Amino acid sequence: MAQPVIWASLVVFRSLCCALPHERALSLGGFLGHTVERFSSKRVQRARARCERMLGVDAAEASRIISGVYSHFGMSLVEFLRLPKMIGHIEELVEVEGYEHFERAMDKGRGAIFLSAHIGNWEYGAALLASRGIPMNAIGAEQRDSRITKAIADLRRSAGVKPLAKGLGLKGAFSCLRAGETLAVLLDQNAKDAGVISPFLGFPASTPTGPIKLARKFGSPVLPARVIRRPDGERFLMTIDPPLEGPDGSPFVEDIQYAADRCNEAISSWIKETPEQWLWTYPRWESTLGDR
């Protein structure tokens, strides 16, 4: 689909989502997800094959999981587009467990790095912390259409989250950690030649090391955090784990390979618990297994 058509469709869809009550907007998002699923046979087949292989499930279970993925991310799109309308309601929708781990980490004055992934609703997690007065910074990828990139950044700013461009955001990441602020990163993407090979769901995957090197440079603690959709479909549970630690009390980021393995281990455990909320449509293992 041509970029102008995608942009026009997104503008119209956002207007409709913002005009509807929240529950009906979410239903529309779920419907949109299933509609995209019906017209994306090749992508769906690849996602099912990944799911079968990486989780060791049968075809029927993989189909159920991938169908849930499309529904979940359709709703997540709606939630993101409606973010400015939901600012005053985030606390009502997101329960937090482990917030004390974050508070203790911030007491060290070296900022903090939230380790997360494309699972659940990471945007709500960042928005929740920003609503509590936490200086939140988030690294995001550039989109093909610069208008979409700007729209994403504007939506994040509306929630009090400062967007940092991937690649070009390194200076901003330095600045925020040096100032003792918080940086959110999603570490479940293919790093190609720039990463280290580390098990992801038990299979070798090229893993980004940038956030790990940042943590080592500034002495910032790395806290795994996820925001998982509850069974009612509308509310979420945000879980913040204690900072990751190295072996025998050594600094977590002293060994890059060890740190990457532990990060992937944490994310993999989340996916196994709620596989229908992770982005199986993304070719995570492309660099190592030829996965497309």
For the stretch 172-217, pLDDT in tens is 889 999 999 999 999 999 999 999 999 999 999 999 999 999 999 9
254-266 confidence digits (pLDDT tens): 899 999 999 999 9
pLDDT band of residue 248 (cuts 50, 70, 90) is confident
Nearest of 128, 52, 41 to residue 89 by alpha carbon: 128
Q: Which two tokens stand for residue 133?
A: 């007065």
Q: What's the pLDDT score for residue 168?
A: 47
Q: Which residues contact residue 89 at a Cβ distance below 8 angstroms, ignoring those fewer than 6 apart?
A: none
**Mean pLDDT throughout 139-163?**
90
The yes-or-no verdict on residue 286 having pLDDT over 80 is: yes
Beta strands at 236-240 and 222-229: parallel, antiparallel or unpaired: antiparallel
Residue 69 · residue 277 · CB < 8 Å: yes
Token pair recorded at residue 52: 């079968």
Q: How many CB atoms lie within 10 A of CB 7?
A: 15
* C-alpha to C-alpha distance for 67 and 70, rounded to whole angstroms: 5
* Cβ(223)–Cβ(113) below 8 Å: yes
Question: Residue 29: how many CB atoms within 10 A of its CB?
Answer: 25
Residue with tokens 């009390």: 249
pLDDT of 290 over the 50 cut: yes
Domain layout of the chain by residue ranges: 3-289
Average pLDDT of the residues in 99-128: 95
